[in-house]
Homo-oligomer: A and B are copies of this chain.
Amino acid sequence: MATKVFIVDDHYMVVEGIRSLLQNEKGIEWTGHAMNAASCLAFLQRQQPDIILMDINLPDKSGIDLCKEVKEKYPSVFIIGLSTFNQQSFIQKMMDSGASGYVLKNATQEELMEAISVVIKGKIYFSDEASQVLTKTDANPILLTRREKEVLELIAEGLTNNEIAQKLFVSPTTIDTHRKNLLAKFGVRNTASLIRDATKLQFI
């Protein structure tokens, strides 16, 4: 029985590319595609594919949220993340949300086919590059606590320590301490490079 594959990606060219890569493969049945999260969920109400190839960047909802929602409603559907970004946090979040694998958009046909055949068996698949990224960043992870993330975002919003303190109902000196720890964890000297690095590493 052929493996039913469905694609969610807002880039028409990528959808076409995948379709073209899979169309001559025996054992693969192309069940359709969606350009956003909403039409993906609508499709799933009617029928469930075996595998969904899902982009992380969608217009109406992040692929991470969609992944979570799909896995809750249809646990038997396997999801493979799909993205140009090879950022640690994205890959990790996708897997945390229930994805069974992760493939970068510069993957070859062989990689894609291997990913599908591995995942359909219930196993986990990482593309070479994705797993490289994971092991690389595992060596040097910046782990922030809940509170630190919260403070970081408010700093980026432009709030001062006093304003953040008011908003979180704590003392300004507490915010100061969190700030101190953020600078230390990122290994930077001031707010400017903190925000820059945090943005590049997708914390904001």
Contact = CB atoms under 8 A, between A and B. Distances in A.
A151 to B, nearest CB: 11
* A interface bracket (residues with beta carbon within 8 Å of B): 35 or more
Contact of A17 (B14, B190, B194): B14
A175 to B, nearest CB: 13
A82 to B, nearest CB: 8
Nearest to A154: B192
Interface stretch (A39-47, A73-81, A104-112, A117-125): A104-112
Contact of A21 (B13, B190, B195): B13
Contacts of A169: none
Interface in A160-204: 160, 188-196, 199-200, 204
Contact of A195 (B11, B106, B196): B196
Contacts of A194: 192
